[in-house]
Chains A and B, each alone.
Chain A
């Protein structure tokens, strides 16, 4: 306690904000770019390639550093922008080399794509590890930082790299959007239309390698792929439009990076894992709460549908059975609908509260409105039975259960009625009620 009190508070705060701001901004920029590019990676099922690229960058970066020595350039005297660009060139070269190697192994051996990727990137990584030991004395290469990420190591050249690469990549995606969409969706048609699919592939790989090398110091090689995949996968849960997916993935990427970075500074943990965990959390939320595919809404929809179906089944049963004694309806309707008593009573109570059923002189019956609704259901049921027998080749004995499910889509009744040539009777010989217009 005493030791802490003696620390000058400005020393605690100043480095915190001074580092936090530019680095968080930089990471968020990388987060956006990773998210946007990640959409194409996810849609083209290239997640493994993303991982491969991030590892394969190591030899590129090391060779870039080594080559400075070959040219006799002193690291200390270099302007930061030059170093940044030089590292970018190395990473790009290594990334593209890996992409070429992968397709080469795939074509010239029996190895499938996943094996080819595994072979190519581990070999590249191994080359990188060996080259590190040959770096001249005095060149400091922090392997640990490369692997795990270290925001404190993010310096001016890295920030320059982020500032150049990210806008360039985003601009390219914006310009090439329709082409990338076509190529990702339908590569064969794209090729037939004359798009160079290989060029687009390598362009994408190159952009991915550049973005990864820009972001690698804050996340580390192991986790950087998460910043590519996770935000895009989360966005994929949420939308059916590609451009919306790109916007969402960029936003989620920026959020993950910004929140993760801030969190890491506040509780003093490594930034990479914090960013990745935030992204994973957002992904989980997307999976649970997506309005289209989300688990929660899916459950809700099912529940609502189940209730809707229960209500309609009760109506139909009453239509068939006629009015029932208010104290003795549970058993006959329960048998007819298969609803458990508790649920049946609740459903009846609700229909009574909404004027679809009524209790008069001790008897539970349909109101005018209820009767009309029930007729529509019976009509739908009998029309579907007719359809299944006449058009889908079922026998009259088989169709009841299927029609029982289909009848709840009674909006289709009219179209069905016309398509079947306005039948009067269902396959069992029962009359199909006509619709009451209105």
Chain B
């Protein structure tokens, strides 16, 4: 696969934790290589302690690798300081979590517009873009509601809208259906399918094996290493890798 089709490249990344000096070091990641092509729908799976949260944190620029390189948007994120990391997070990444993390003091529209505020985009433009992305998740009629007035599924759709508003290179989702009942969860997953079909790059961390056949590619971690990396499942019609 040619370099210009990759959104991100992870090269030889390790992450070592040590609780205190005497304790043995924990190799949360023991050397991971991962190329992420544009438009791919990837899920990261593995038992707890396999390093999948750590990998997620590194992809999400929430943490720096101990060793190795992480190329995102042409820069090696592994070498950045905190201020630069938080700028990269704001520019290139969107996050969706199990918890919706919506601020009760702000309206739906304001919650969605938060990432734009920190990019110095003027208020009118912020509101317009927030409204447009809420339209995409079919919540245009709830713009001036507060999060407390919404159902769980709606709240997660607001969170997805917030993650999409800065047009991220990668959408990171960590157990996005964990707080929802199966039926509502399915509607959220359907929304992900739709976003993927529109060309969005998605990385999802989950322990739900049923997710695997929804995704284009599944990476299974075990003991800080990639155990299985299988491309299969659903392929979108517009997939670039088909060429």
**Does A touch B (CB under 8 Å) in the complex?**
yes
Q: Interface on A for B, CB 8 Å cutoff?
A: 300, 304, 307-308, 311, 326-327, 330, 345-346, 348-350, 352-360, 368-369, 372-373, 410-411, 434, 436-438
Q: A359 with B100: in contact, given A311-B86, A354-B62, A354-B89 (CB under 8 Å)?
A: yes
- 0 or 1 for each of B42-86: is its CB under 8 Å from A? (1 = yes): 000000000001000100101100100000000000000111001
- 0 or 1 for each of B110-140: is its CB under 8 Å from A? (1 = yes): 1100110110100000000000000000000
Q: A369 with B111: in contact, given A304-B83, A354-B86, A436-B18 (CB under 8 Å)?
A: no
Q: A357 with B101: in contact, given A304-B83, A411-B81, A436-B19 (CB under 8 Å)?
A: yes
Q: Complex: how many Å from CA A167 to CA B68?
A: 53
Residues of chain B within 8 A (CB-CB) of A349 are 103, 106, 110-111, 114
Q: Kindly report which residue of chain A lies nearest to residue B115, judged by CB atoms.
A: A353
The answer to whether B83 and A358 touch across the interface, beta carbons within 8 angstroms, is no
- Residue in contact with A355 in the complex, picked from B83, B97, B114, B115, CB distance below 8 Å: B97
The answer to whether A437 and B115 touch across the interface, beta carbons within 8 angstroms, is no
Q: Complex: how many Å from CA A358 to CA B97?
A: 9
Residues of chain B within 8 A (CB-CB) of A373 are 82
Residues of chain A within 8 A (CB-CB) of B9 are none
Residues of chain A within 8 A (CB-CB) of B190 are none
Please give the distance in Å from A139's CB to the nearest CB on chain B. 64
Q: Kindly report which residue of chain A lies nearest to residue B26, judged by CB atoms.
A: A438
Q: Kindly report which residue of chain B lies nearest to residue A370, judged by CB atoms.
A: B62
Please give the distance in Å from A370's CB to the nearest CB on chain B. 9
Residues of chain A within 8 A (CB-CB) of B90 are 350, 354
Q: Kindly report which residue of chain A lies nearest to residue B15, judged by CB atoms.
A: A438
Q: Interface on B for A, CB 8 Å cutoff?
A: 15-21, 25, 53, 57, 60, 62-63, 66, 81-83, 86, 89-90, 95, 97, 99-106, 110-111, 114-115, 117-118, 120, 162-163, 174
Residues of chain B within 8 A (CB-CB) of A353 are 95, 101, 114-115, 162-163
The answer to whether B105 and A359 touch across the interface, beta carbons within 8 angstroms, is no
Please give the distance in Å from B115's CB to the nearest CB on chain A. 6
Residues of chain A within 8 A (CB-CB) of B81 are 411
The answer to whether B104 and A327 touch across the interface, beta carbons within 8 angstroms, is yes
Majority secondary structure of chain A interface residues (helix, strand, loop or mixed): helix
Q: Complex: how many Å from CA A355 to CA B175?
A: 13
Please give the distance in Å from A325's CB to the nearest CB on chain B. 10
The answer to whether A355 and B60 touch across the interface, beta carbons within 8 angstroms, is yes
The answer to whether B57 and A369 touch across the interface, beta carbons within 8 angstroms, is yes
Please give the distance in Å from B155's CB to the nearest CB on chain A. 10
Residues of chain A within 8 A (CB-CB) of B115 are 350, 353
Q: Complex: how many Å from CA A327 to CA B103?
A: 8
- Residue in contact with A436 in the complex, picked from B17, B60, B110, CB distance below 8 Å: B17
Q: Tell me how many residue pairs across A and B have CB atoms closer than 8 Å.
A: 82
Residues of chain B within 8 A (CB-CB) of A311 are 86
Q: Complex: how many Å from CA A11 to CA B184?
A: 81
The answer to whether B86 and A308 touch across the interface, beta carbons within 8 angstroms, is yes
Residues of chain A within 8 A (CB-CB) of B62 are 354-356, 369
The answer to whether A358 and B99 touch across the interface, beta carbons within 8 angstroms, is yes
Please give the distance in Å from A299's CB to the nearest CB on chain B. 11
Q: Kindly report which residue of chain A lies nearest to residue B66, judged by CB atoms.
A: A438
Q: A308 with B105: in contact, given A349-B111, A359-B99, A436-B17 (CB under 8 Å)?
A: no
Residues of chain B within 8 A (CB-CB) of A372 are 63
Please give the distance in Å from B31's CB to the nearest CB on chain A. 15
Q: Complex: how many Å from CA A385 to CA B118?
A: 31
Question: Could you name 6 residue pairs across A and B whose Cβ atoms are closer than 8 Å?
Answer: A345-B105, A346-B114, A360-B99, A368-B57, A373-B82, A436-B19
Q: Complex: how many Å from CA A356 to CA B83?
A: 14
Please give the distance in Å from A128's CB to the nearest CB on chain B. 56
The answer to whether B20 and A434 touch across the interface, beta carbons within 8 angstroms, is yes
Residues of chain A within 8 A (CB-CB) of B82 are 308, 373, 410
Residues of chain A within 8 A (CB-CB) of B104 are 326-327
Q: Complex: how many Å from CA A77 to CA B181?
A: 104
Please give the distance in Å from A16's CB to the nearest CB on chain B. 44
Residues of chain B within 8 A (CB-CB) of A308 are 82-83, 86
Residues of chain A within 8 A (CB-CB) of B162 are 353
Residues of chain B within 8 A (CB-CB) of A368 are 53, 57
Please give the distance in Å from B130's CB to the nearest CB on chain A. 12
Q: A330 with B105: in contact, given A353-B95, A354-B86, A354-B90 (CB under 8 Å)?
A: yes
Residues of chain A within 8 A (CB-CB) of B21 are 434
Residues of chain B within 8 A (CB-CB) of A434 are 20-21
Residues of chain B within 8 A (CB-CB) of A350 are 90, 114-115, 117-118
- The 7 residue pairs across chains A and B that have the minimum distance between CB atoms: A352-B101, A349-B114, A349-B103, A369-B62, A345-B105, A437-B18, A358-B99
Q: Kindly report which residue of chain B lies nearest to residue A369, judged by CB atoms.
A: B62
Q: Kindly report which residue of chain A lies nearest to residue B94, judged by CB atoms.
A: A353
15 A-B pairs besides A346-B117, A354-B90, A437-B17 with CB distance below 8 A are A308-B82, A311-B86, A330-B105, A346-B114, A349-B110, A350-B115, A353-B101, A354-B95, A355-B62, A355-B95, A355-B174, A358-B97, A368-B53, A373-B82, A438-B18
- Residue in contact with B17 in the complex, picked from A357, A360, A438, CB distance below 8 Å: A438
Interface-centre pick from B57, B62, B101, B115 (highest chain A CB count, 10 A): B101
The answer to whether A345 and B95 touch across the interface, beta carbons within 8 angstroms, is no
Q: Kindly report which residue of chain B lies nearest to residue A360, judged by CB atoms.
A: B99
Q: Complex: how many Å from CA A438 to CA B19?
A: 10
Q: Kindly report which residue of chain B lies nearest to residue A305, judged by CB atoms.
A: B83
